[in-house]
Amino acid sequence: SSELTQDPAVSVALGQTVRITCQGDSLRSYYASWYQQKPGQAPVLVIYGKNNRPSGIPDRFSGSSSGNTASLTITGAQAEDEADYYCNSRDSSGHGVFGGGTKLTVL
């Protein structure tokens, strides 16, 4: 089992805002990074660090962190944002770990 906990599924109406969360005690010491994975494709980094977006990632994606919870927010979700989202950080022993993933549906 993962030491980073994500909701298995979340839905959002087109154009609305959605927050995807990742919980784990290690997040008090480590930032989470976030990845988007569409069917049949490799994961893509969308957020890293405190709130950094790689080149090419739309500014509707943002990240935040409070206590043991990291969040990925999509402001104004688009149809192309429908995908699986994974958080990544370290576990309590310092080993790398991914959250279980959240399937985002855009209605």
Partner 1 sequence: EVQLVQSGAEVKKPGESLKISCKGSGYSFTSYWIGWVRQMPGKGLEWMGIIYPGDSDTRYSPSFQGQVTISADKSISTAYLQWSSLKASDTAMYYCARHIVVVTAIRSNNWFDPWGQGTLVTVSS
Q: Whole-angstrom Cα distance, residue 13 to residue 41?
A: 24
User: C-beta of 90: minimal distance to partner 1 in Å?
Assistant: 7
User: C-beta of 101: minimal distance to partner 1 in Å?
Assistant: 4
Position 33 contacts partner 1 (CB under 8 A): yes
Site for partner 1 in 75-94 (CB under 8 A): 84, 86, 88-90, 93
Q: Whole-angstrom Cα distance, residue 55 to residue 3?
A: 29
At position 90, the amino acid (one-letter code) is R
Q: Whole-angstrom Cα distance, residue 82 to residue 12?
A: 9
Residues that bind partner 1 (CB under 8 A): 2, 29-31, 33, 35, 37, 42-45, 48-50, 54, 84, 86, 88-90, 93, 95-101
